[in-house]
Structure 1
Amino acid sequence: MTKGKAFSIMAVNLSGNHGFPHLQGDELKKRYERYYDMYKRAREWLAVTGSGLTEEEISLGYTIEKKMHEKCPHIYRINVVFGNRANVNPSALGSLGLGSEEILSVVDSQLPGIEECQIGVEIPEESRIVEEDHGDDFLAEEFYVEAELMEMKKFTRSMLDQICPHCRKMCQLKTRILTRGGRQSLKKLRLHQKMLKLQRLEDEKNRRRESVRLEEVKKRWYAIKEERKKYALATMEEAKKWKFTMFLELTRAGKSVSEIEELIELLDDNASVPK
């Protein structure tokens, strides 16, 4: 059985027996892969040295738990499914040769609330079931995304309210430790954005200067062509006058027409006089 066929069967089962929206197999597969990727990125972000909160986030009352929930909604529930899989945990821990259970314990110790606060916490019933039967209108993607956001907010508030004081204190301590790295990263990001903005302005100025320069070169070239054309016409007129004057003088001297033409052709070849 292929993976696509398995997702199609799962979609039919969920739609018929659990009140889920009537999704197709490929849509269910996309949602699965999206949550899987968000969870993996959130765990990797937590394991990176220097990951933390910026001064702006701290002033707004952010915590590590809240930041994790923003990076991956339903992270506590997804952790039950994917938490012990070696290919989900950060590669830095996997390279130490630890088993999947050891990796899980190491990473979970860095995320206050997943292990300590999970015990005795009851997920509210209204946050468990959001996908109700709303008829054909529920097939719209916008409605489904809005329902997911509402569920995420309910679940996040309920979990944060029930975090034990010890875990909250540990989270605040780790936030202060990681803030320095986050602040430095924020400074680098702002400096990088400023440099990009200056570079764009400089490129725009250079393009304008180049456009003006090319326009001036074009005008000069047209002026030179006109001057050359006028000079060529004037030279041709002078050559005609010179030939006519030479013809009259040679005729008065008693030369024949053939002799005059041969003489003029000879002078044209030697002196490069225009015909």
Structure 2
Amino acid sequence: MASAWYAQHRRLKTGERFGALDRHLLIPEPFPMALYFPDTFTTVTEEDIDRLQLPQWDQTVLWLNATNEFARNPADGFFEHVPESILSAARRLEEGKTAGRPMVLMHVLDDAAYNHKRNWRRADALAVARALEKEGCEVSLLNPEQGKFVGGYQDMMAKMLAADAFIGGDTGPSHLFAQLCPDKPQVAVYPDMTEDQANYRQLQEAQALPLPWNSLPKKRKLAHITLVCARATTWSGFWIKQRKYQRFYPADVLRALLPQLKPGR
């Protein structure tokens, strides 16, 4: 989605359009850019690229360049087309909401396949859900169980359109919500990025870019909470074992989100 934001931003400035190849090996379900962003993307194949000798846009380190471009021109991205099937599903979900109780959608990031420092403790997320419910909100989880989403992309998008706010981590649903619902409250619970920023500092300096690498969604109204490293100590026979994990505090999430939720929304 960072690539979608970056390409859309460039198209609005220059009038250029782009082709995109979906080569994500870990996610089998396609996400057709030309369907959701028809003004920015067109459908191409690798044969088209070779036959037409299309120039390639080298984005180098995408998050580094997108972060600095967003700082220069902090414009929210947006979906250029949403299929009627998604809109009608969202309307049905809206009709099922309880009046006066904001619906908060949450993606519990406890199943990151790589870069495990992004992972939350599910217990922390469930504590947030309970606290929000006490404050009069309804809470819906995209993944009620670890690694198990309910439905595909279009189901997810319908839930996002029907929701009043979103809580997510350093992964796809957070970026999808940011671009699909740029005007809705959103909390991003992310790992510390110091190590990643150090890895790209040499490239940042070579390109004379003022801001370091940053993988947060490119959205103006975004609340950001940083995961903290904690340790768990357990006994195993005569041995003491220590385990590191990432956690956050429900009170921080509520402080970031509740002021943005209008009463009776």
Q: Which entry has the higher C-alpha Rg, 1 or 2?
A: 1
TM-score norm. by structure 2 comes to 0.23
Tell me which protein shows more helix as a share of its residues: 1
TM-score norm. by structure 1 comes to 0.23
Tell me which protein shows more strand as a share of its residues: 2
Bigger relative contact order (CA 8 A; separation at least 6): 2
